[in-house]
Structure formats: C-alpha cells, structure tokens
Structure 1
Amino acid sequence: MANITDIAKELGIAPSTVSRALKKPDLVSLDTRHKVLQMAEKLGYLQKLRDDATAATATNLIGVIVADLTNSFSNQIVKAVHDTLENSGYSAIVGCNYEQSSIENRLLKQWASLNLKGLIIMPTAKFSKTINSVDANYPIVLVDRNSEDLSFDSVIEDNRYGASQAIEHLRELGHERIVFVTGARRVYTFNERCLGVESSNSKNTVNVQIEEVDAESYDELFIGAFEKTNILMMKNKTLRPTAIVGANNAITAGILYALNLKDFKIPNDVSVVSYGDSDWCRFYPTPITSMCQPVDEMGREAASILLEKIKGKKGDPEKICLKSMLLRRASSSELQV
C-alpha cells in the first residue's frame, strides 16, 4: 500500500511537502496540493485513509428503545436483550420513547452518528412515520409491539389470548360483574388486550366492562386506575364489580392502592387479577393472581433474530408470537355470595 514517501517520489518533491499538502493545505500552493491529492488518489492512499477512518468509527453497538424503564416489563426486556447481545460481543445503548413519537424520532436522529449495527424497539403508534424520516440502514426488530404498516421482524405476545384467559378465569369462579381497567387504546398492547376482552364478551351473555384510563406513562396509569377504582367501588354493593383486572402492573398497583385505602378486602370483597407479573405481585400481603408474560423469552428471541440479520440472513420477516400463562394466587377466588 502506498505511503507519503511513495507519493513524494512520484512527484519529485519532499515527503514533508506531501505531508503538509494533506494535513495543512494552507501551507502549500494550490497547484502543489492539487498534484498531491491526484497522486494520492491514483496510488490508493486516500482510499486507505477512508478505510481506516471507517474502521476507527465502526462499533458493535445495538440500539434498544423501550417504552418506559419505570416499568419492570421494560427492564426485563432490556436485561434479556443485553445478556444475549453481550454473549455475542455486542453492546447495547438504551433509550425510552415514553410512547411519544417525537422522542422516538429524536433518539434515532441522535444515534445516527453511532454507526449502529441494528435496532430493537418497542415502537410507538407512529413508528412507520418516524422510521421513514431517519436514515436507518440497519436491521430492525420490533418487540412487544407490531406494525401492520411495516415489514419488520417482530417478537410479540398474544395479548388477546392473555386478556381472554384472565377474564375466563374469573368467569369460571362465578364472577359476572367484572371490570377490565386499561390504558389508552392508542397503545398497541392495551388495544390488543381490549380486543381479547371484547372477543370473550362475544362468546358470553354477560359482558365485561372496559374502563379506559387515557394515559400511557406509569405514573399517569397508576393515578388514573386509582381514580377509576374509587368511582367503581363507590357504587351500591349490588352494582359494584366483584372482580377487577388491571391491564398492566401500573394499573394494578393503582387499583390495589384504592382498594386498600377504602379497606376493601381482597378477595372477599373483590377479586383482583394483574396482567403482568412482578416481584411485588408474589410478595403482596394477598399474593396477586397474574398473567405471567414471556418477557425474558421475548427479549432473547428479539436479540437472536437481530444477530442473525446482522450476519446477513435473508428471507421474509420473522413474526414470533408467544403466549402468557395464568398464575393463580390468593387474590382471585370464587364469588362470595
């Protein structure tokens, strides 16, 4: 490979002049600089500099964007992704979109200079617009959310199945006044779970009531669920719910807080089921019946698919859909007459 001495020899000038022409062009004449650049290009020296610069900035960095790290679900996804990537020599940079496309867009633009090898993301509802506005020339895997507008690999949970299983569990216990408290239906997972409840309703004569909290963040969901539960439990005993399902951990926490403040006994006064299992669900004074999501598996699968894509695997996008499992604990019991 040519070097500065080779260029100087071809032009019949000193190597120091070549060095100045390349590094401090204002110290040589325009004619000399032009000749040096032409010869450097001809001998492949400039291409070598470009290749070295590319190698110096190359990384084994994967972008990971989740909805909200205050939610244990997102934390578990990140850990599973991180562990899988680390075993293959990759590192992760993590960001939160907080269900806002503007933040999602800003993160991707800020990361553009990092030479990401790939991206794993819990996309917002407007991700199709976001991704079209940035130069993302790397493989992308969606996790926990799907996008019908885009053909990306995805690893999701069958939210409709999970919600219907939670409802059917309570129906089997004899409950008829069941309320499903959900977050904003513009969020993919909440909407899918509501569709699961509606599917269950279509097969039964007694409908489950869906109460929507128009919120997305953990704190807002907690407060909204707390307020909804207070209103629901103020009703006459013959009208208020005998069972409540929280559509995620934040909502369930708000439900439990409201019930405790009003001194309602679980499950004697009202049964409670959480969509999502956290450590506190197991250790709560009355352990909470939960839909246990395949969180670790989702994270591992998403990372594994991305690694295969980075290696050059071709073919149609993979669409993996996993199922949650009901963990029955003390918070749900047969209807107390």
Structure 2
Amino acid sequence: MVESPKPATRMDVARLSGVSGAVVSYVLNDGPRPVSAQTRARVLAAVEKLNYRPNAAARALRLRRSNAIGLILPDISNPYFAEFAKAIEDAAFDRGYALLLGNSSNDPHREAAQLDSFIDRQVDGLLVISVRKYAELSVVREAKIPLVVIDQPEKGVDVATVVIDNYRGARAAVDHLRSHGHRRVALIGGPPQLPGSHARQAGWRDALTDLGAADRKQLQVVAPFSRLGGLEATLQLMSTKDRPTAVFACSDVQAIGVLRACAQLGLRVPEDLALISFDGTQGAEFTAPPLTVIRQPVEMIAGTALDMLLTPPGDLESKQRVVPHELVRRGSCGCQ
C-alpha cells in the first residue's frame, strides 16, 4: 500500500523560500510586521509550489477569527428556509465569509448542541432562527460571539434582531381576501413556538374582528409548517357545517397541502375556496393555480442581518430592524 504524501507545513514553505517560519506567517496573515515585496513573492511562490494550505482551525485559534458565519435554521426541508440559507450564503460570500449551516429540526436540544459546536469552532458570528426563547441563547453572548436573531423580536431582551412585520402581513392577507368578498376566512396557523406564528395569528384574528366574525374558533387550525399539515388542516376545516370560503395559510408549504386537499375533495381554487399564504417562495409561482402570497424579501433580510452581524459592537446590539412585506397577487385568491 502506497502512503499518501504528507501535506506541506509552514516550515517547509520557510525552508524553500529561505525565510523564517515567522516571516511566512507575516505574509499569509498580512502582518503584524511588514514584509518586502521580493520576500513576499518568494514565499507565495513556495506556497504555490508546495500546494501549502494553512490549518484553518489553528489559524482561527491564533487570530481569534475564522472567516466563517454560523447559521441555525429550524427546518432546512422547508423551501423558505432553504431559500433563506442560500441568500445568507451568497451575502456572506460577497463579504468574504464562509457559511456553516445547522439544522435544528425544530428540536431545542439539537439547537443547543449546534450552538455549542459553533462556539467551539470560534465562528465570527451567529445568525439564528430559534425554536427557543432568547434567554436560552445567552451562551452565545457569554462567549462574546456577535449574534443576530431572525424573525423573533422580544421586548426587554438586548439582542439584535431582523424581522418582517408578521402582524401587518397577516392583516394584509385577510384584507385582500376581504376585497374579494370573503368574510369567513380560515387560518391555518403554525406551531406557536416557531418564528412568526403568534404574530400572524394575531393579525388574522384582529382582521377578522374588524369583519365582525364572532366565531373564530371554528375557523382556526394549528398545523406543522408542512404539506401534510396543510392538507390535514384543510380536511378538518372543510368538514365543519359552516365552511370557510377562503384560507390564509401561514406558510407556502401549508398552502401546497391546501391545494392537494382541495383536489381530493373536488373543490376548485379559487371558485370554491380562495387561498393566500405567507412566505413567497419560488415554488409558490408554479402551483396550479399560482399562489397569492405575502412575500418575505429573503435577500433584504439576509443582507441586513449580515451587515448588523459584522458591524462593530455598540448601540447596534439592542436594535431591531423591520423589513417590509409585499403582497404578490396571483390566481389562488381570484386575481387574474
């Protein structure tokens, strides 16, 4: 068996270029001491000839920076979170950072383990869409790692956040269905501990109150953010005596389940049941009919969150940024 050649070391580069190991370090790390142009050229030529790659973990320990950002999401199988992760990765790359991705699968214990792992790796910052309360993210702040929390604002907690106005977005969804003549607008809500669920429910509830709808209990089903959740919730809603004429689904994946349930029940969308959803993922444009959505601007959220994360600490830590939603009209609500 032929053994693979050992990777080149910093001292190998030093010997080939005729300098000390410290000078190699100065060249590769751009300091802290200056190096002449000729010496720098010799070192870089040796690096290329030996195919030398610095040990990233050791470099992070030495420089106290890894040029990597950690991102923890609740469910990477959800198209919205997948698109958000891509937007973060693109924005991080543009700023010279790699992205490390953690998927908590909506499990607080798994999220805690990933936080510990990212802290051990000494990432330069953490972006978190958490399934837990902010107080439980204190381990990140104790480690003095910059932190930005996405989509879960909470009063009295000194942490940087980027959110969309879930409440106003939900109200806009119901108001749009109202413009089509609907008064019995059902809600397929998400689990209350997950991002945005409570505010979207509150927006729907208050909009329905304005419509004079007294019996909201029969018009509400809490379901997972999944296709199956949307399907089962729709079957439950449409089994009641006073069926809704429209549905506001709190995520696109739930709305896809609504469409499947309508096909199963022989209902036409939007003629028998109008539909609008929250998120605005790319897939929403390709359903039949295409989904009317409250779109979250993932590129804006990603860029804003990274800019906040990479800004030197100060007053910014306690600030909350709110990004606008957008109503995108398509066929599922009755728009042409």
Please indicate the TM-score interval, normalised by the length of the shorter structure. Answer: 0.7 to 0.9
Q: Name the structure 1 match of 2:152.
A: 145
Q: Name the structure 1 match of 2:177.
A: 170
Q: CA RMSD in A?
A: 2.4
Between the aligned partners of 2:193 and 2:268, the Cα distance in structure 1 is 33
Deviations 1:99-149 (A, max 9, x none): 322111100112232111111111223342243488431110111222335
Q: Which amino acid aligns with 2:95?
A: S
Higher Cα Rg, which structure: 1
Contact 2:185 2:245 in 1 (8 A): yes
**DSSP-derived class of the 1:179 partner:** strand
Q: Name the structure 1 match of 2:131.
A: 124
More divergent stretch after superposition (179-188 vs 143-152): 143-152
Normalised by the length of structure 1, the TM-score is 0.75
* Inter-CA distance 212–186: structure 2 relative to 1 (3 Å threshold): farther
Please give the residue correspondences for 1:1-337 in structure 2 after superposition, counting only pairs within 5 Å: 54-55=61-62, 58-132=65-139, 135-148=142-155, 150-207=157-214, 210-215=219-224, 218=225, 221-236=226-241, 239-309=242-312, 312=313, 314-315=315-316, 317-333=318-334
Q: Name the structure 2 match of 1:24.
A: none
Cα distance, 1:155 vs structure 2: 0.7
Normalised by the length of structure 2, the TM-score is 0.75
Q: Which amino acid aligns with 2:84?
A: I
**DSSP-derived class of the 1:203 partner:** helix
Deviations 1:174-197 (A, max 9, x none): 111110111112224111101111
* Inter-CA distance 195–235: structure 2 relative to 1 (3 Å threshold): closer
Deviations 1:250-291 (A, max 9, x none): 211211111111121111111111112223321222111111
**DSSP-derived class of the 2:294 partner:** strand
Percent sequence identity is 24
Runs of 5+ unmatched residues, structure 1? 1-50
Between the aligned partners of 1:133 and 1:142, the Cα distance in structure 2 is 11
Contact 1:101 1:130 in 2 (8 A): no
* Inter-CA distance 148–196: structure 2 relative to 1 (3 Å threshold): same
Runs of 5+ unmatched residues, structure 2? 1-57
* Inter-CA distance 54–283: structure 2 relative to 1 (3 Å threshold): closer
Q: Which amino acid aligns with 1:201?
A: L
Between the aligned partners of 2:306 and 2:220, the Cα distance in structure 1 is 35
Kindly tell me the number of residue pairs found equivalent between the two proteins.
Answer: 276
Between the aligned partners of 1:132 and 1:318, the Cα distance in structure 2 is 20
**DSSP-derived class of the 1:195 partner:** helix
Deviations 1:204-235 (A, max 9, x none): 312555523253xx4xx332321221122234
Deviations 1:291-321 (A, max 9, x none): 1111111011001111113xx5555522111
